[in-house]
Structure 1
Amino acid sequence: MRKLTLRILKTLPTKYIASGLILIIILFIYGIVGSYFIMGLNLIDSIYYATITMATVGYGDYTPHTGIQKIFATTLAIGGVALLAYVFNMMLTTFQERMNEFSKGARKLKVIENMEDYYILCGFGRVGQVVFNELNQRNQNIIIIDKDEDVCEKIEETDNVVVLNKDATEDDGLIAKLAGDKCRSVILCAGDDVINLFIVLTIRETNPDAWIVTRSSKLENIKRLRKAGADKIISPEVIGGKDLYFESTRPHLLKITVKHSSYEILDEFKIITKHGCTLENIEYHLPGIETPLTRQIKTMDLSDGQRFVNHLSTHDDQRNALDNLYKTVNDVHSHLIAGPDRATFDKLVKDLEEIEEIIGINLTNKEIAKITEKEIK
């Protein structure tokens, strides 16, 4: 208890204490000067009279007789009582607030001790809020750490959400202590890469197995964060660039759902490249399930398709795995194809119809799930 009290006293706002002491000193000087010139006392007696009057002790050693002496003694006594009361009240109020903060912090740490499988989210800016919403929708346990007091006060705490108004780079290795066995992942969302780098290094010193996902605001810092020990680095620039690309090509994207075996892959790819189109990805549709299995391709070079087929011809295990995948989805899959214009897509579809069964164009996953559900029945 003694150590806690000393710690709280050390954290009291020094500016309030300093301003209070300055006011007391000014009033004390006023008392000494007034006692010397108004009361007619010597310097030692002036100090003595100013002290006992400010403290309202009043031993009666010196009694004011004239009007000006009485006014001086009255202002000194009232000023001393008011000022001392104000300063001590301010210190006690601040002390109580600090006690409440420490008590609240202790309760939060107790909740964290009893929390299992939690995520640590450092930084609650625009990116951090998006991550929080995703975690919260899934009822995950979340510990939010942010140094902005106003931001922390706006976050609603629940049984699954604990908010710590602390600086993860300064608070006695708090982040390293929390990133232990019970922590599923540490997610660093600070907009400053230097801060994220420092936190990664801090965690790695004591938790080599912690799973760390960090934001990188600048592409050139991705390598530094990876060397520091981050497991995954996400760059809003890269993600934003991909989104901009796909949105810009939206009028020139075609999703075509087809049915054919794995042995017709090259013939299909020849037609796609012949029309100058790019195969962005392939989606394999499990019967009755809306979410497909997706493979990114992103190529328009026929040699890539030929190389893939040649590879399968010399690797029986991978050929068998691909055949089994096609059997699982009953040969139903979709291609996302980027092309120059709609006229090209019309020609592409017409050529594909000659070699394979086309189930639909630009179907939603829900529509495809209903179609494939019939395969189950």
Structure 2
Amino acid sequence: MRRYKVRFIGTALYFFSVILVGTIGYVAIEGWSWGDGIYMTVITLTAVGYDEVNPLSPNGRLFTTLILFGGITGLGLWFAFLTSFIVELDLAKAFRRRRIQKEVKKMKDHVIVCGAGRTGSQVIEELLMAGVSFVVIERDRETNERLEELLPDVNVIEGDATADHFLEEAGIGEARGLIACLSHDTDNLFVCLSARDQKADLEIVARAYEEETVPKLYRAGANHVVSPNASGAIRMASYMLRPVVVSFLDVATRSPDLTLRMEQERVSESSPLVGKTLADVKLPQYTGLIVIGIRKKNPPEAEEEFTYVFNPQAETCLGTGDIMIVLGKPEQIDKLRKFVNP
């Protein structure tokens, strides 16, 4: 866009210079007033065909011919600028869309973010910090342009996320999850229905403004539903009841100097940790992480599908499918993932 600004300023300065020269010329050659000189210069530049303000002398006619040629040249520059701007803008959008389509086709286990408003922007920031690949679907053109300007490497699809073909364009068949954070609950409801219909095992997280929408989103296929009102109320109460704890978590997860993240890692069937205790694998000593909890799958006859072990002891045994919940720095988490599932 910067080069277009330069071209526009250059064209504007050209017209200003011709008008200034023409006005001074008519005043000097014909002895007209400044107002008549400006008017005559403008109608000559634009070639509108109006009659002369006053009869012209031979020198005045020659001068008018020169101004006319200058006006035709200036109009040519102006129309060339407009044409190149429109054509290059359309081509740039077409090339960007094609590039995004090619990149999305290569993606696997990515996340689809539906909506890039206030909530969506925070989601995008978290995904970027976590190093997770994702695609954004946003219908508002101004929001897309602002997002592309701030984050040019982010894949943004301009479209309605409630339409099936935009979800397909975002690679829902290869995606691992979808976050529906559109501005209306009805839109999030449609997104959940469409996404669940297209991929049965997709992890879906949806936002609900109204509390009565929460059970509907679950029925529509969402695995998790977040209510900003409920979350905000809990946080406000926590500030009142346990302000030091909340401040500590904010500093730990948001401070640029101390970035701790709470992450999860699944123990696969081929992991060397299967059948070993926490004392055997020595995760804290090897990675520097803190193991906060472990989610274990219960036997089929149990009432609950999973059991959560909080603050697991050293003798806790790890099994296939267990998910460890850890707290640590990003580089420590990367080290854990390579260690658990090499």
Length-normalised TM-score, structure 2: 0.50
Structure of higher RCO (CA pairs closer than 8 Å, 6+ residues apart):
1
State the TM-score, normalizing by the size of structure 1: 0.46
